[in-house]
Amino acid sequence: MLFIRRSFQITLLISCLSLFSLSADAQKSQLPVQEIWQRDYQPFRIAGNLYYVGTYDLACYLIITPQGHILINTGLEDSAPMIKKHVEALGFKFTDIKILLMTHAHYDHAGAMAAIKKMTGAKLMVEEGDAPVMADGGNSDFIFGGRGALFESVKADKVLHNKESIKLGDAQITVLHHPGHTKGACSFLFDVKDDKRSYRVLIANMPTVLSETKLAGMPAYPNVGKDYAHTLTAMKDIKFDIWLASHASQFDLHKKRKDGDAYNPETFFDQKGYDAELADLQKAYEKRLAEK
């Protein structure tokens, strides 16, 4: 009888754990995932020591230095093997990644941070507004949160602030806090260099207003509308040679470049495209503001 009781208890425990696992998977499965977010894409050199190592649409960037490398964004939670493959295909060691950064703490850009941190031992640096979201796996996100962890949680090794500089080897990156899309959304401004010249690069977190966002204010983010207004204004004054973004579609990667194209940083000289994208986002913001 004791054996039967213990067997029943063990079976019940396994069933409960299975239900918990299924519940977590169900939560994640409710999140929208586009096919182009998971589609493989050939990694390539953008300019100087800057490389594209993301998927077809989820942009991830690798900055190479003699003292180690910096990875910006990781894509979805299951993207780690693909990013590793891309880094190694370019001839670099995955374990030489020393710093992990993100444009914002959404599941489609920071989902694999925990996995890649474990694989590389890199230090994770997160803007202060998004650090709590990473620490609870997205549960405190003001749009997608409240349903449990959406990706593997991971604690920041360093909390970043506006205008702070991140240094590794000969790389120096300036953090630009551009809140709205998330509380800790940020862009990155830095220089890269090849044998011809140097390039000022902006990896821009474009301030897209999600359909669920209420610009008049939300309980978890009362100042969201004001933050969007600040960001839209601040982003108009940035000087750069090359601009990139969190999604390849935002900076028209696939219109500008095809697989196998020769190295040409000027492909991404596109002030006009940047200005047009910001103008569209400004109009979308004003339209949503009028609807409140």
Dump pLDDT digits (tens) for 128-139: 999 999 999 999
What integer pLDDT is reported at residue 287 of this predicted model?
95
Domains of the chain: which residue ranges?
35-291
CATH topology of domain 35-291: Metallo-beta-lactamase; Chain A (3.60.15)
Can you give the pLDDT at residue 32? 87
| Binned average pLDDT, 10 residues per bin, the chain of 292 residues | 42 38 46 95 99 99 98 98 99 99 98 99 99 98 93 98 98 99 99 98 98 93 98 98 99 97 98 98 95 72
- How confident is the model at residue 291, as a pLDDT? 85
pLDDT at 28: 57
Distance in angstroms (rounded) separating the CA atoms of residues 145 and 163: 28
Strands (E), the chain: 44-47, 50-52, 61-65, 68-72, 97-101, 123-127, 158-160, 165-168, 171-177, 186-193, 198-204, 242-245
Residue 5's pLDDT is what?
44
The answer to whether residues 207 and 281 touch, using CB atoms and an 8 Å cutoff, is yes
pLDDT of residue 17: 38
